[in-house]
Amino acid sequence: MTYPMWILLTASLVGLSCGIIGALLILRKMAMMADAISHSVLLGVVVAYLITRELSGIHMLIGAVIAGLLTAVLVQWFHARGVQQDASIGVVFTTMFAIGVVLIATQVGNAHLDTKHALMGEITFIPWDTIALPGLGEVPRATLTLSIVLLLVIAVITLFYKEWKITSFDPALAASLGIPVVLMHYLFMSMVSLTTVAAFDAVGAIMVVAMLITPAASAYLWTDRLSVMIGLSAMFGVISAITGYYIAVWLDTSISGSMAFATGLVFLFSFLCSPRHGLASRLRCRPNMSEQKL
């Protein structure tokens, strides 16, 4: 497979996994948790490096997942004690991200770990960091990791689809039916953290946030069915990844930044043209309402 194809495949895997998770984030009104976790995992990555002095390995994944779960726990803890949820999210993720940045600046030294890498990622270097697989040859490590995470996300969403649906729309009903709402919440936060961590090193925090929120918000404008929304969100993530890559090639600019920009273009198109909740449908309904008044 050629160099650009590995980049496109890796970015598409990010779009798929983030799109699926993002649909549930939007329905649960937790969009800002994506921003919080995608930034706070930096602290987990830095602490894992400081303990092991190794930039790659399972310890980095474990450290980042722990940081993501800690973010969810702290946000919930503050919210349960009277702090508004949006304020809790803002306080927790900015503090943890700031600690991570300070540790990078003061403790990491000459390691290949900096704030620019954390924000924008290094997707152009993905094809050079490979691992040998039987029957497949050399495969980029990030592509393999994201493929595993995508399969895991699909499996968990499919296995507990009814539970996700009920807890997203009516948590009180879910609790009355005996569904462990709190356990499902932290399982979902674990999936968000795992997806974020898998994409973090390759594409950076900015694209992770864009892929988690914007394709799902676009899909929400097109349908009222959860299954269709998840499929559309994943599709919009892939479209954004591919479109953003060619925009970056055309303008000779940041690939991750262009992919994040492409998610905005998809949302703008959805906002204008969606036949269900878009601007076009509202304009069509307006004359009908005027006729009824007359």
Average pLDDT over the chain, rounded to an integer: 82
Q: What's the pLDDT score for residue 55?
A: 66
* C-beta of residue 20 within 8 angstroms of C-beta of residue 161: no
Containing 133, the helix (H) or strand (E) segment is: strand 130-133
What is the structure's pLDDT at 151?
94
d(CA 1, CA 210): 27
The yes-or-no verdict on residue 56 having pLDDT over 50 is yes
Which among 123-127, 194-198, 273-277 has the top mean pLDDT? 194-198
Question: In the predicted model, is pLDDT for residue 287 greater than 60?
Answer: no
Q: What is the pLDDT of residue 81?
A: 87
What pLDDT, on a 0 to 100 scale, did the predictor assign at position 15? 92
Reported as a single tens digit per residue, the pLDDT across 91-122 is: 888 898 888 888 877 776 555 554 455 555 66
> CA 71 to CA 93: how far, in whole Å?
7
Give 294's pLDDT tier (boundaries 50, 70, 90): very low
Q: Which of 71, 73, 74, 79 is CA-nearest to residue 44?
A: 71
Of 188, 207, 182, whose CA–CA distance to 35 is shortest?
Answer: 207
What is the pLDDT, as a whole number, of residue 246? 93
Could you count the other beta carbons within 10 Å of the beta carbon of residue 240?
A: 32
pLDDT at 254: 80
Q: Would you place residue 218 in the very low, low, confident or very high pLDDT band (cuts 50, 70, 90)? A: very high
